[in-house]
Amino acid sequence: MNFWRTADNPWGEEVLIGISWDLMWLAIGASVVFLIGHAVWLRTRPAEAHEAPSEAETSGIPEQIERHNLGSRLFHWTMAATMLALLITAFVPVIGWQFPWVTIHWVAGVLLIATVVYHVIRAIGWQDFWSMFQLGVAEGTAQVRHVLSAKAPAPPRAGKYPFDHRMYHHVIVVTTLAAIVTGLLMMVRIDTPFWTPNPYLLSDATWGVMYVVHGVSGVALIVLVAAHIYFAVRPEKRWMLWAMVNGFIDREKYLEHFDPSKWDVTGGSAPTSVEGGTGALADASVTARRDD
Amino acid sequence: MAKIRDMIPAFELLQPTSVEAAMDLLDEHREEAWVLAGGLDSFDWFKDRIKRPSVVVDLGGIPELTGISEIENGLVIGAMTSLTEVERHERIRAEYSVVADAARHVATPQIRNQGTLGGNVSQDTRCWYYRSGWPCYRAGGNTCYAAAPQAMNREHCIMGRSRCVAVNPSDTAPALIAVDAKMIVENPGGPSVYDAEDFFIGPAIDITRMTVITPRDLLTRIQIPATWANAEFYYEKVRDRASWDFQLVSVAAAFRKAGDTIEEARIAVNGVAPYPVRVEAAERIVAGTSGDEATAAAAGEAAIEGARALRHNDYKIPMMRNLVRRAVRSVA
Amino acid sequence: MAEKLIGTDIAPPDLHAKITGRAKYAEDFRAPGMVFAKLLLSPMPHARVRRVDASRALSMPGVIDILRADEVPAREGPREAVLTDNPRYEGEPILAVAAVDEETAAAAIEEIEIDFEPFPFVLDPLDSLRPGGPNPYVEGNQFSGQDGWSEFKWTEADFATIDAGEMPDPECPVEWTKGDPAAAFAESALVLEETIVHQSLTHHPMEPRSNMAYWEGDRLFAFVSTQSSQQTKFALAGALDMDPENITLVSEYAGGGFGSKIAGTTIMQLPAIFSQKIGRPVMLRVTRYEENYIGRARPGFQSWLKMGFLENGKCNAIDLIIVQESGPYGAGDFNTAGMIADLTYTPQNMRFRAVPMYTNTPPKAAQRGPGGAQIISMMEPILEKAGRELGIDRLEMHLINAPRPDVRFGPRDNSLTSVHTVEALEQGAELFDWASKSQLSGQRNGSKVTGVGIGLSPYTAGSRGRDGMVIIRPDGRLYVHQGIGNLGTHSIADTARPAAELLGFNWEDVVIVWGDSSRGYPRSTVQAGSQTTTAHTRANRAAAEDALRKIRAVAASSMGGSPGAYRVDDGRVSGPGGTMTLGAVAQRAIAMGGEYDGHVLPDDIHAQTVPAAQMLAGAGLMGIARDNFGGEGNIYSWVAGFALVELDEETGVVELKEYVGVTDCGTVIHPRSLGAQVFGGSIQGMGMAMTQRWVFDPKWGVPFANRLYTARPPGILDVPPDLKWGAVGIPDPQDPIGAKGIGEPPVGAGAAALTCAVADAMGGRCLCRTPLTPDILLAEIEGREQGFGRLDQHIG
C-alpha cells in the first residue's frame, strides 16, 4: 500500500502530488469495519438502565425542550449537504464513476466555508461558545471506562454537549479546517471566475504538502462522516437525529441524558448544581440561558 | 530516474486477426493493453517513453476493421480504414464530401496513408505540456501547466475547460459530427452506439481520456447515416502551414436546404475545446433562414458565446466566429 | 570539342547514390565491435550536478561504460564542452552511456540517479539587463577574456523608457558610429522609429549530427556529419588536442547543416573520447529531439531602430540598437547585422549599438545568412513604410537606396568587388511585373487582401587564397581533390568545373575526390559564409592552370615544339609535334617526376596541403597551386525577392501566390543548382518570417516546438508551384571565374519580401516581429490584445 503519490516535475525532481488513493479504500474499509464492529459490540452490551426522573427534577421543565433552533438546524443540514457533496465529488470519480465534479466540488467547498464562518460568528456572538470547549476530564474518563466495561458505572449525565459529541466536534473542526485551508489555496490552481489559475503561487514541494493535507483530511472525513451518520440513524440515538430535524427533544430524553444543572432549560428556575464542569477550559457558565 | 526520449522501449506486440480475438486480448490485459491503429499518435508516445504499455494490441491485421461498405441507410467505415481511402472514396466524396475534405486536411499524404479514421478520432491531445510528460492533470498529476498565467497556450482551448485546457486535435471529428455519424464501440458486454458528438468527452467528465473509450473497448466502425447525404457541406481548417499541421480552429458544417431556405444545419468546430464542439445555438439561428450575411454574423456570434481566452489564444475567439460565419455564408 | 561546363546543368556525381539510398551518411557506417552511446540531457536550463549514481545502470547486462564531464576537455568561460556538470540550457548533455545496443543504453540512462541543484536562469536577454535581473551564469552575464565575468545591467531609467515603448539610450558594449547621425536626422524629411523582435529558431537539418568513431592505435577514424570536410578534421584535432594527420575523417554526405555544422566538432568529441576509453567503436545516433537541443539555433534580436529619410526617399541616417539572445556560448550575428544594415541602405550616417547577452537557451550559431537575414527581414518593411509615407513607389525606394559599386560600409569603410543590386531589382521587377502587380496592393477579394513586397538581401559570398589540387592519372581522367564538404549544394562538383573546362575534359572523365580525408585534400575553406563557390572555383582554376602548364611542358618534351603551342581538348593535348592522350601525358609526367607528378611542390602552398600532395605524388600529372589571383574588397552576392500574398482578414492566414528571386552572384556555374539555392534559401527565409517558431515556457525555461511538426519549417505546399528565379549573370571582375556564392542571401530576400508583402496587405502596418503567424495577424486585424509584450521573445 502507498501513502502518497509522487511525480517528477518538469525538471525531473520528484515531488509529492497527493495522497495515494489506497488511503481512500483504507478509510472506506475502516468505516465499514467500525460500523459493523460497533453494531456487533453493542449487541453484547446489556441494555442501559436509566432511572426514572424524580418529581423534583421534572418540575419546571417543559414537555418539549428546544435543543437546536432553526438557525442551528439550517447550519447543520447545509453543512451536511456540502460535506456530502464534497465527499461524493472527491471520491466517487476515483472509484470509477466519472462525472463533472470539479465545479460542484469547489462550489460546495465555498458553501461549506460560508456555513463554517456563519457558525463560528454565531457561536462566538450568540451562543455559549465555551460549552463546546469544556474539556470535562472526569466526564471523559467515566465515559471511556463505561465503554470499556459495561460494569463500570454509567458516566454522569452530560451538559448540552456530552463528552463524545465535544470530541467529535473537535476532530471535525481540525479536519475540516485543514481541508478548507488547503482547499482554498488549491482553488488558486483551478479555473474559477475569480482569478487566472496559478499553479506557481507556491513551490512544488509546498503544493505537495497542501495536496497531502487535503487528501488526508478528505479520507479522514470519510470515516468521521460515516460514523456520524451511523450514530445518527442508530435506534437508540435517533431522538437526536429528530432533534436535528424538528429542533426538540422531550423531557424524558432530556432528563435521561442531560444534567439539568449543566444544561438549564428552565431559564434559571431549576436548582443549580454545585458541581461545575471539572477541568473546564473556562468558567463553564452552565447556568446561562442558551439558545440551543 | 533520468529521462531519455526518442527510443521506443520494448513491449509485447499482439496481432489479432479478428475483432473477437482483439476483444479477448483487451479483456485479458485490461489497463495494461494499448490499442494500436495507424501508430501515429501511439509511436510518438512510445518513443518518448511517456506512455509505456506492456502489451500493444495491433489492429492492423484485422480485415473486418478495414474498408468502406454501403448499407441500406448510409455507409459503414471500418475503424482501421486509412484516411487516404476515406479521402478518395467515391461515394463519400459525392454524398458526404465534408468527411472526405476533412480527411484530406490531415497532416501529409504519408500520414494519411498510414493513419486510420478510427485512430484520427481517438487520438490524444497535442498539448505540449502534456506531450512533454509533465505531471499535469491529464497525466494523473495535479497541475495544468498550460493554464498558468505565463504559459505558452496559443493552441489551447477557449471553451469547455475544466482544469485541463487542451484541445482535441482531430480533423475528421467535426466532419463526422456534421454528418451525424454513429460510432460503434464494442466490448465484451456487446456493442454500443454513440452519436459522434457524444463519443468525445471533456476533462470535466474524465480528464485522462478524450473519448468514451475505456480499457476493453474497441471502436470498430463508424456509420454515416443517409440522413445528411448530399446536403450542402462546408469544411475549413485554419493552420499555421499548409501541410503537416494540426488545426488552430476548424469548422465542418452540413446544411439541408429547401429552395433557398436552410431547413436544418449541423455545425461543429474543433480546436476550441477539449472536444469537438457542436454549436447548436448557431444551428438554431441558421434554421429557416437563407444563410444571409446577417444570419451568418449572428450564428458566428452565437458560436462564441461563453468563450474565454487564455493568455495567448484570444485570437481563437474571432477565428471561431469567422469560420462559423463563413460556413453559413457558404450556402447563401 | 569538349562540352561546356560552366553555365550548364550537369548531374552531380553523388546524385544516384542519394536517390537510390546507397549514399552512406555518418550513421550508416558500422565497425566490428561497435557499441552505441546514449546521452543524458540536463532537465534544467541552469543547474549544477550534485550527485550521480550510475551503479544500477552499469550493472545492467550489455552496458559497457559511462562517460562523464571530467573525462572530456573542459572549457573555461562561456565555451562549450561536449559534456558538462554545469548545464547552461535544458537539453545540454551531462553524460553518456555506452551499451551493446541503443535500447540497452537508453534503459541504462533511465537507471541513473542524478540530482541537480537548479539556478536562476535567463530566457529573455532583457530580463538579465534589468537591474536586479537574473544572470545566465552563476558568475554574471558578461565575459571578457581579460577581466572574466561581470554583471552588466541597464539602468532603471533605461527601462522606464523601454517600458514606455520608446527607444532607450543605454550603454552598450558594442558601438560604432560613422558620419554624423544626429545632424543627419535633423535634416531628414521623415524619421521612423520602430521596435523590432526577430525570433530565435533552430536549424533543423534533415540529418541530425550523428557520428561514429574508433581508434587503430593512435589513429582516429571519425565518421561524421559536417558541412565542411578538411577543416572539420583540423577542428576536431584541435578539440581533441591531437595531430590532425592522425585523423581519418569520413564525411561523404551531410543532410543539411545551414551553418550548424560548419565544423560541428563539439558532439564529435564524444564517440572519439568514449571509444578511446572503452577500446571499441562508438556510434552516437543523435535523435531529432536531441538535435533540437544540441543542433544550434539562430540568435533572436530585440531591437530599436530609428531610420531617417530625405524627401527623395534616400535613407540618410540609421540609429540601430540590437539586443541579441546569444544562448550560453555566444554568437556574432549582431555584428553582421550592423554591417548589412549600413551596406543595404547606405545611410552614410549611422550609429550602431549592440548587446550580445548570454542566455540559458540552446546554443546559437550561424544560421544561413546569420545576422543579415534577421535585420533585412525586419528593416525592409520599414524602408517600404517610408516609401508609402513619402509617396514614393516602393521599388523606387529600393533602387534609390541600393548600394552602387562605389559603396563603403561598416565602421572600417569596407568596399565590394562588385555589386549589381540595381540590375537585380530591375530584372526582378520585370520578371515579377512589378508595374502591374504593385497596382494590386490592397485589392480585396472577399475577405482576402492582396499585398506585394520586395526584399533585397546581401550576404558575404567568397574568400580567396585557398589551394587547389588536381591529378590527371594514366587512365586519362581528371581527379579533382576537394577538401570541401558535401553539404548538399553540389559545390563539390560545381567548383571543379573551371578546372575541367580549362583542361578540356568532358564531364564523364572528371572524378571528384571527396568525403574521406585519407584520399588527400588541398587546403580548403570551411563551408560557411557562402565562400566555397568563389574560393574553390578560383583554387581549382589555379590548380588547372598549373596542370595546363605542366601538360604543355610534358607534351613539348615528348613531341617537340614550344609548350605554348599546345592546346588541350577532349582528353588530348595537340600541337606542332602531334597529339597524345592526357593519360599518356600522365604516364609521362610520372616518369619525369619532379614537379610534374607532385614530387616537387610549389613553395607557396599551405602546410595543410603538403601531406596530401606528398601522399599523392607519383599518381599522375599533378596540378597544384595556391589561389594567387588576388582581389580587393569584400565579395557579396545579392538576391532581390518579390512576393505577392493574399491575407485572409477573417483567419489571419497568409498565402504566398507569387515569388520571384533574382540574384546578383556573378557568373552562373550551374543554373539548376543555383535555382535550387535561390528557392531553398528563400523558402527557408519565408519559414523564418511566417511559420517556424521556437517557444519556451518562461517558468521552467524549457523549449517546446521540439519536433518538426511543432517547429513548423515550411513545406512545399506553403509556396506556389511556379516560383521564378533569375540571375543578373555579370561576372565579378576581380575573379578569374567571376562566380560568387549564393547560399545565404536568399534567406533574407524570401523573408523580407514576405514581411513587406504582409505589411502591405495590412495597409502598411508593420508588426515588426517574426513569426507572423495567423494568430498574431488576426489579433492585429481584429484590434484585439496580443498575449505578449511588444518586446517579448520566444513567442509563436
- Segment C351-358 mean pLDDT: 98
Which residue in C has a C-alpha nearest to residue A11's C-alpha? C43
- Segment A56-60 mean pLDDT: 70
CA–CA min distance B18, chain A (Å): 30
Q: Which helix (H) or strand (E) holds C408?
A: none
Question: Which value, to the nearest 10 degrees, does the dihedral of the CA atoms of residues C129, C132, C137, C142 take?
Answer: 40
- Sign of the four-CA dihedral B188, B189, B193, B198: negative
The Cα C720–Cα A191 span in angstroms is 44
Q: Let me know if C76 is exposed, middle or buried by CB neighbors in 10 A (0-12, 13-18, 19+).
A: exposed
Contacts of A11 in chain C (CB under 8 A): 43-44, 116, 118, 700
Which residue in A has a C-alpha nearest to residue B148's C-alpha? A198
Model pLDDT, residue C159: 98
The Cα C540–Cα C623 span in angstroms is 9
C572 close to C459: Cβ distance less than 8 angstroms:
no
**Closest to B180 (Cα-Cα) out of B93, B72, B255, B270:** B255
**Among residues 416-475 of chain C, which lie with CB inside 8 Å of chain B?**
447
Which residue in C has a C-alpha nearest to residue B131's C-alpha? C704
pLDDT surpassing 60 at residue A282 = no
Helix (H), strand (E), coil (C) string for chain B = CCCCCCCCCCCEEECCCCHHHHHHHHHHHHHHEEEECCCCCHHHHHHCCCCCCCEEEEHHHCHHHCCEEEECCEEEEECCCEHHHHHHCHHHHHHCHHHHHHHHCCCCHHHHHHCEHHHHHHCCCCCHHHHCCCCEHHHCCCECHHHCCCCCCCCCCCCCCECECCCCCCCHHHHHHHCCCEEEEEECCEEEEEEHHHHECCCCCCCCCCECCCCCCEEEEEEEEHHHCCCEEEEEEECCCCCCCCCCEEEEEEEEEECCEEEEEEEEEECCCCCCEECHHHHHHHCCCCCCHHHHHHHHHHHCCCCCCCCCCCCHHHHHHHHHHHHHHCCC
Contacts of A13 in chain C (CB under 8 A): 116
Task: Tell me if B312 and C715 make a contact (CB, 8 A cut-off).
Answer: no
Contacts of B3 in chain A (CB under 8 A): 8, 12
Phi and psi angles of residue C480, each rounded to the nearest 5 degrees, phi first: -100, 115
pLDDT surpassing 80 at residue A292 = no
Task: Read off the pLDDT band of A281 (50, 70, 90).
Answer: very low
Model pLDDT, residue A197: 85
Q: ∠ CA C372-C374-C380 to the nearest 5 degrees?
A: 85
- Sign of the four-CA dihedral C76, C77, C82, C83: positive
**Among residues 675-714 of chain C, which lie with CB inside 8 Å of chain A?**
697, 699-700, 702
- Which residues contact residue A254 at a Cβ distance below 8 angstroms, ignoring those fewer than 6 apart? A61, A65, A260, A263, A265
Task: Tell me whether 0.95 is exceeded by the ipTM.
Answer: yes
**Closest to C682 (Cα-Cα) out of C718, C648, C652, C647:** C718
The Cα C482–Cα C500 span in angstroms is 13
CA–CA min distance B258, chain C (Å): 26
C80 interface with B at CB cutoff 8 Å: no
pLDDT in tens, C196-236: 999 999 999 999 999 999 999 999 999 999 999 999 999 99
Model pLDDT, residue A279: 35
Contacts of C717 in chain B (CB under 8 A): 241-243
pLDDT in tens, C84-110: 999 999 999 999 999 999 999 999 999
Which of C688, C719, C775 is the best mutation test for B, with the most CBs of B within 10 A? C775
Quote the cell numbers at residue B165: 485546457
| CB contacts < 8 A (A, B) | 60
Cell numbers 440515538 label which residue?
A: A237
Quote the cell numbers at residue A119: 457558525
Q: Chains with 3 or more CB pairs closer than 8 angstroms to A?
A: B, C
Among A15, A99, A190, beta carbon nearest to B163: A190
Phi and psi angles of residue C396, each rounded to the nearest 5 degrees, phi first: -60, -40
Which of C104, C778, C785 is the best mutation test for B, with the most CBs of B within 10 A? C778
Within a 13 Å sphere around the CA of A31, how many CA atoms are in the beta-carbon half?
19
Q: ∠ CA C750-C755-C758 to the nearest 5 degrees?
A: 120
Q: Chains with 3 or more CB pairs closer than 8 angstroms to B?
A: A, C
pLDDT in tens, C679-732: 999 999 999 999 999 999 999 999 999 999 999 999 999 999 999 999 999 999
| CB contacts < 8 A (A, C) | 14
Which of B143, B153, B211 is the best mutation test for A, with the most CBs of A within 10 A? B143
The Cα B144–Cα B331 span in angstroms is 40
- Segment C476-500 mean pLDDT: 96
Contacts of B154 in chain C (CB under 8 A): 775, 787, 796
Model pLDDT, residue A278: 36
CA–CA min distance B274, chain A (Å): 14
pLDDT in tens, A202-226: 998 899 999 999 999 999 999 999 9
Model pLDDT, residue A50: 66
Contacts of B162 in chain A (CB under 8 A): 100, 102-103, 191
Model pLDDT, residue A287: 37
Task: Read off the pLDDT band of A152 (50, 70, 90).
Answer: confident
- Mean model confidence pLDDT for chain C: 97
Which residue in B has a C-alpha nearest to residue A201's C-alpha? B148
Which of A9, A11, A198, A207 is the best mutation test for C, with the most CBs of C within 10 A? A11
Among B2, B108, B319, beta carbon nearest to C112: B2
CA–CA min distance C158, chain A (Å): 30
Quote the cell numbers at residue B156: 489551447
Contacts of A10 in chain C (CB under 8 A): 43, 697, 700, 702
B162 interface with A at CB cutoff 8 Å: yes
| CB contacts < 8 A (B, C) | 137
Task: Tell me if A12 and B2 make a contact (CB, 8 A cut-off).
Answer: yes
B35 close to B218: Cβ distance less than 8 angstroms:
yes
Which residue in A has a C-alpha nearest to residue C703's C-alpha? A10
- Segment C627-654 mean pLDDT: 98
Positions in chain B whose pLDDT score sits under 50: none
Contacts of A12 in chain C (CB under 8 A): 43-44, 116
Among C41, C107, C695, beta carbon nearest to B152: C695
Phi and psi angles of residue B117, each rounded to the nearest 5 degrees, phi first: -65, -45
Q: Are strands C219-223 and C567-569 parallel, antiparallel or unpaired?
A: unpaired
Task: Read off the pLDDT band of A291 (50, 70, 90).
Answer: very low
Among A10, A17, A199, beta carbon nearest to B144: A199
Which residue in C has a C-alpha nearest to residue B310's C-alpha? C787
Task: Tell me if B148 and C40 make a contact (CB, 8 A cut-off).
Answer: no
Which residue in B has a C-alpha nearest to residue C699's C-alpha? B150
B37 interface with A at CB cutoff 8 Å: no
A60: region left, alpha or beta (phi > 0 left; psi from -120 to 50 alpha) = left
The Cα B277–Cα B274 span in angstroms is 9
Task: Read off the pLDDT band of A267 (50, 70, 90).
Answer: low
Quote the cell numbers at residue C774: 495567423
What is the arrangement of strands in the sheet containing C567-569, beginning at the earlier edge strand? C567-569, C572-575, C578-581
B145 interface with A at CB cutoff 8 Å: yes
C97 interface with B at CB cutoff 8 Å: no
Phi and psi angles of residue A162, each rounded to the nearest 5 degrees, phi first: -65, 165
**Among residues 196-235 of chain B, which lie with CB inside 8 Å of chain A?**
202, 204-206
- Which residues contact residue C627 at a Cβ distance below 8 angstroms, ignoring those fewer than 6 apart? C464, C465, C466, C467, C468, C535, C538, C539, C541, C542
- Percent of chain A scoring above 90 in pLDDT: 40
CA–CA min distance B53, chain A (Å): 18
Q: Chains with 3 or more CB pairs closer than 8 angstroms to C?
A: A, B
C22 close to C16: Cβ distance less than 8 angstroms:
yes
pLDDT surpassing 60 at residue A241 = yes
Model pLDDT, residue A49: 66
Residue C249 C-alpha from the chain's centroid: 21
Contacts of B145 in chain C (CB under 8 A): 697, 699
A96 interface with B at CB cutoff 8 Å: no
Task: Tell me if A17 and B142 make a contact (CB, 8 A cut-off).
Answer: yes
